[in-house]
Chain A
């Protein structure tokens, strides 16, 4: 079987298109590359959707934590503490069993026990908490002069937020937010190891990598392949976020732009 046939058979295996039976023997390099790559579809799916939806909630949480209303302030601070203070792995397990026990209550909860929705919700809340904290920090360091200038122009309320506070907050938070995005993608690999079942062996990249490592007793091929894919993904994220960073900083003189300094911030 040529490599093209393998790609045609297994390229979209993780979303249920193509050959159903996983390879039983041989385990060529091509098969490993194709299947692990096909698993990346799920990592990208979880990462992109959680990031986009989490961004909105994160802004709300940051504003809540910075607000003067004590109820909102406490609620947001607790939300952030709850998701930043506990391991994502335990959050996945807990959410899965909560959804499982809700299942008999109503058929509405059926999809929640499968990874595509249940795990996505956990990732969404988790990334909202982490980026909420980043945005809150940025909100606290918006220069006072900027706000005074906005006041002097007669801006207030929504228009001041939209035109001054929010863009400045994003600009200040962006390098840290880029890290958050990278590590969110890394965190997506936990999904299929934490209760959520891989239905019909449709899993993510790490699921297939550990499948091959288990079958061949040779970790030296599948995991480096996985690493290769993730480094590629990380580079894409850095590139894309760098473009957005350039746009956020476009009004500033060259040297005072916030540099994209990538700091290490590991798992949650």
Chain B
């Protein structure tokens, strides 16, 4: 990258390091840091939407809908979530291919489960066999995002369900006595007020989500864990201009520091947000704020 990087073997340690850390491969690991941020940026709102749908359907008066919501919340309990991650990625992939298969090849005779193989017709494959590499990578990433959103949506649903029940019931009754309809009570009274009760749970969830991002590696995405293993492994002078020993330990130390910084910054930001949201609320925290003011 720099002009003095022409012959790495002749450089002293500082300049060598500067050149080494800016090779093309290293650019890939920096990009994959953005993959993590992108994953968080897409997953967090999606999971929140899933969670909101789950929680509001669990509260529903219509019994089957409430069962669906409650089952969605309950199903994630008691089972390790990486099992869910490993399960959903294959299951969603097969589900999408099966749907496309049913639509695109209606006259397919053979069974799609042939012994130990899952076979769909060629034009139903996702992505198509002849599509470029980036399509495959994007499809894999989107599957991972959807999986994260489903699993974390269930956790968010649990938090929001609790928050909805924590809103003082008198307020809802008051709203009803003013003649509001059920949906008005829900949208105008319940939803604006539940956030302060949900925030501690949601911020915990955000921390957990940050700490779950390295699991992308297990889902087959080329993320930071993948690149740290690739780049850290011992390199001999035959294959690279920058030979070095086994540096994987240092790469993972860097990842550890990255995550520590990330969680620390989030913690500070969320605390600030909590102070703003408690302002004027009828809770102990709000009361304490009123007294100091």
Contacts of A219 in B (CB 8 A): 86-87, 90-91, 94
Contact with B along A234-268 (1 / 0, CB 8 A): 10000000000000000000000000000011111
- A190 contacts across to B, CB distance below 8 A: 82
Tell me, in angstroms, the Cα distance from A213 to B229 when the chains sit together: 25
The answer to whether B215 touches A217 (Cβ under 8 A) is no
When the two chains form their complex, are residues B116 and A86 in contact, meaning their CB atoms are under 8 A apart?
no
Chain A residues with CB under 8 Å of B78's CB are: 182, 227, 230-231, 234
Does B246 lie at the interface of the complex (its beta carbon under 8 Å from any beta carbon of A)? yes
Instruction: Tell me the complex Cα distance, A227–B82, Å.
Output: 11
A93 to B113, CA, bound (A): 37
Contact of B211 among A25, A217, A267 (CB under 8 A): A267
Name the one of B83, B211, B225, B249 contacting A86, with C-beta atoms under 8 angstroms: B211
A86 and B260 within 8 A (CB): yes
Interface set, chain B 155-214, CB cutoff 8 A to A? 155, 158-159, 204-205, 208, 210-214
The answer for the CA separation of A215 and B91 in the assembled complex, in Å, is: 15
Q: Count of A-B contacts with CB under 8 A?
A: 127
One of A89, A189, A210, A220 near B214 (C-beta < 8 A): A89
Residues of B within 8 A of A199 (CB): none
Contacts of B208-230 to chain A: CB distance below 8 A:
208, 210-215, 217-218, 225, 228-229
Q: Which residues does chain A contribute within 8 Å of B83, judged by CB atoms?
A: 189, 206, 209, 223, 226-227, 230
Whether B256 and A90, one on each chain, are in contact in the complex, defined by CB atoms closer than 8 angstroms, is yes
B263 at interface by CB-CB < 8 Å: yes
Instruction: Scan residues 171-221 of chain A and give those whose CB is less than 8 A from a CB of chain B.
Output: 182, 185-187, 189-190, 193, 206, 209-210, 213, 215-220
Is A4 at the interface (CB under 8 A from chain B)?
A: no
Give the secondary structure class of B's interface.
helix
In contact, B225 and A89 (Cβ under 8 angstroms): yes
A residues 79-108 touching B (CB-CB < 8 Å): 81-82, 85-91, 93-94, 97-98, 100-101
Quick one: which of A87, A98, A216, A226 contacts B116, CB cutoff 8 A? A216
Residue in chain B with minimal CB distance to A188: B80
A163 CA / B211 CA spacing, docked (Å): 38
Cα(A91)–Cα(B211), bound, Å: 11
Q: Return the CB mask of B123-143 against A: 1 if under 8 Å, else 0.
A: 000000000000000000000
Q: What separation, in Å, do the CA atoms of A97 and B228 have in the docked complex?
A: 12
Given contacts A81-B260, A215-B116, A218-B113, contact A87 B212 (CB under 8 A): yes
Kindly list chain B residues whose C-beta atoms are within 8 Å of the C-beta of A88.
Answer: 211
Minimum CB–CB distance from B148 to chain A (whole Å) comes to 12
- Judging by beta carbons under 8 Å apart, are B118 and A218 in contact? yes
Chain A residues in 8 Å Cβ range of B252: 90, 93-94, 97
A97: chain B residues at CB < 8 Å are 232, 246, 248-249, 252
**CA distance in complex: A186, B214 (Å):** 16
Contact A101 B214 (CB under 8 A): no
Q: A93 to B228, alpha carbons, bound, how many Å?
A: 10
Interface check B79, CB cutoff 8 A: yes
Interface residues of B in 256-272 (CB under 8 A from A): 256, 259-260, 263-264
Bound Cα distance A187, B212 (Å): 12
A-B contact pairs, 12 of them (CB 8 A): A87-B210, A87-B213, A89-B211, A89-B215, A89-B217, A90-B255, A93-B225, A94-B249, A186-B79, A215-B116, A226-B80, A264-B158
Q: Which 3 A-B pairs have the closest CB atoms?
A: A186-B80, A97-B249, A94-B252
**Interface residue ranges, A against B (CB under 8 Å):** 25, 27, 81-82, 85-91, 93-94, 97-98, 100-101, 182, 185-187, 189-190, 193, 206, 209-210, 213, 215-220, 223, 226-227, 230-231, 234, 264-268
With A94-B249, A209-B86, A223-B83 given, name 9 new contacts (CB 8 A).
A87-B211, A89-B215, A90-B225, A217-B90, A217-B117, A219-B90, A226-B80, A265-B204, A267-B82
